Each structure stands twice: as structure tokens, then as C-alpha cells.
Structure 1
Amino acid sequence: MTSAGKQLEIQFEDPNPQKWSHPLKEDVFANFVSKENAAAVYYKTGSFFSPLLFGKFFDPSDAFPLWEFESDALLPNSYGSGHRSVDWYQTETDYVLQAEVPGLGQNSLQVCIENGKILEISGQWRQQQRESRAKDWRSGKWWEHGYVRRLELPEQTDWRKAEAHMKNDVVLEIRIPKTAPDSEQGN
């Protein structure tokens, strides 16, 4: 089950389960609405975030079953270059997931398996540009962008033996061994 590239540590309990929760305050909402066509892009009919899609609001970070999720059916192509896909396939011995995460690198990427059922890949891009200083004020430009994908693992996996590797600081590969149907009760 070896793979070329830098090995990453897989956490089996999320040390900060609320890391993607941010309070929705008036200034955050006003900033979102002030962008050109923001509401039309994110709340249009058929959009994943549309309140009319399922008749109620729900948590978009809830895990989707890995083997049943067809992203093209639920998610419109309005996410642009920020939307990254996770490809997966299976061999006789492993489930293999591959995700392109350019710019994240090994240091800001986290892989976590929660309760042996949910695989979470997360990271943050941060950039701070040069500050300009004047006598009475200073200004600077910076931005931060988060990435999280949560996938439900198939039942017959030996998730404690999962391995994650980065290839060329761009492609994350996660290998999760399969278990025999008889040994499923031991996990």
C-alpha cells in the first residue's frame, strides 16, 4: 500500500470540530450581498445552496455517501476555479481517493477520519500582501480561503490503516484498505 510522495498524518478525531463555523453577523451578510450577482449565483434554482432545493436549510458540510454522490446532478458549475473534485476508484485491496489541492501543500492540509465513517479533507489558503504605511494610517491586502470536503466511507474499510500522501504538492492520494466481509464487526 505504499505510494510515492510525502506522507501526511491522518487524525482519527477532529481536534477542532467547529473550525468551519463562523457566526453570521450583519457585516458578513452585507459584504456577501454587496458583491455583484452574489445572490443570483448562490441561491438560483437548482443550486446546491438554494433554500428551495430540498424545501429547508441544511448543513452543506454534511457528508455525502462516496459511492452515491454525483456532483454534476446537485452542484451547478458556478463555483469556478475554487471548486475542486475528489476522484475515487477501488482496487482489489484498497479504496483510493485522489484530490487536486494546488497551493495547499503539506503544512496546511488536514486529513481526518471521524468515528470510522466520515473522511474530511480540509485546508486553508492564506496570503498577505505588502503593507503600505503612512504617518497616521496603514493598510494592507490579505485574503483567506477555506477548503473542506467530507465523504462517507464505505462500511467494509480498515480505516485505522488509511494512508495519505502528497504528490508534487498538488495531488493528495488517500488509500483506505478494504476489509473482508467477515471481519467487518471488528472495526
Structure 2
Amino acid sequence: MDQSGAMVSEITRLNSEEVTADLGAEIPQVAIGKSQDVKVNVEQRRRVVPIVFGKEYLRQYLPEAIKHCRATTESNTSKNISNKMRSATGNKTLIAHFLRRTLKALSDSVDANKSHVAAIGGWSGGSTVISASMQQYGAAGLSSSKGFKAVHDTSRKILACVLEVLEAEHGDNVVNITR
């Protein structure tokens, strides 16, 4: 998921029912490593990511993607994503992990708040904005949190270039980024 910098292993561990429910929140979101029972590479990777576009698409296809990831190896899924990226761009050097790096590069290009970026991507420093305790508030609680709203706004800023393309292609089906 390009909005979260999620790795295939993180997508594999998502709970489909929780994801679907959390996408219905006032601020749609995906919780990565929500339960303490869920293994994460490092604790910073536990995060709640605001979703700024594609909510209905994610509702429809993310459960299927989770099943697919669980049915094969992480390396196979990453390889398939890499191949699709290469095919779409003609750049034979792209790999799936570049989506994570792209999130960071886009955030740097708009001078986004570093703590917010860390919270979105699961890098160190993110817990200063959305603590482990806050992550347990649930989707409704986080949607009303001033800190999470700020992270959501930062995510919109980071992904503004994507949102502009979506608006141009789909018009009223996408929320205007200037609202």
C-alpha cells in the first residue's frame, strides 16, 4: 500500500474484518499490527495509517489481497508487484520496496512534518504523534483525535500529486484536496 509504506509481510498480517470496519471511520484508516499478538519487525511498524484515497477500492480488494498474500510467499508476492511496476513503467530496476521509499521521497518533496511521516510509514519517531496507547483508541476514537487529524492532513499533503491525478481522471468521485 503506497499510502502506508506497508511491506508485504504487514499486509499478510492484516485482519480483513478490522480493515473493512476501520475504512468506515470518519477518517478511513488501516491499523498495521493493531493487536499485540500480531508480529511486527520492529515496534515502530505498529501504526494506524489514514487513508486519503481509494477507500472503496480498498474495501473491495484488500481482503482478497490479504488472502493472496497468505496463500503464497512474501518473496513471490513482492516479485509479482515488482514485475507489475516494471511492466507499467518500463523501468526494469524497480522493486516493490520502492513504494515505501516513494512515500518517504514524496514526504521530503513537500517538506512534510517528520513525526507525521514516521507515524504513517512506521519509522522511528512516529510514536510521538500517535502513541501505542492511542493506537488502541479504535477507528472512531482516532478519527476525533487532533493528532490523528493532523497526520491525516499531512498524508493528504504528501499524496497531493496522486490526488490531483485522481481528481483529473475521476472528477467528483474524489474529494478535492483543497477542501
Task: Give the TM-score of the pair, scaled to structure 2.
Answer: 0.24
The answer to which structure has the higher helix fraction is: 2
Is the strand fraction higher in 1 or 2?
1
TM-score by length of 1: 0.23
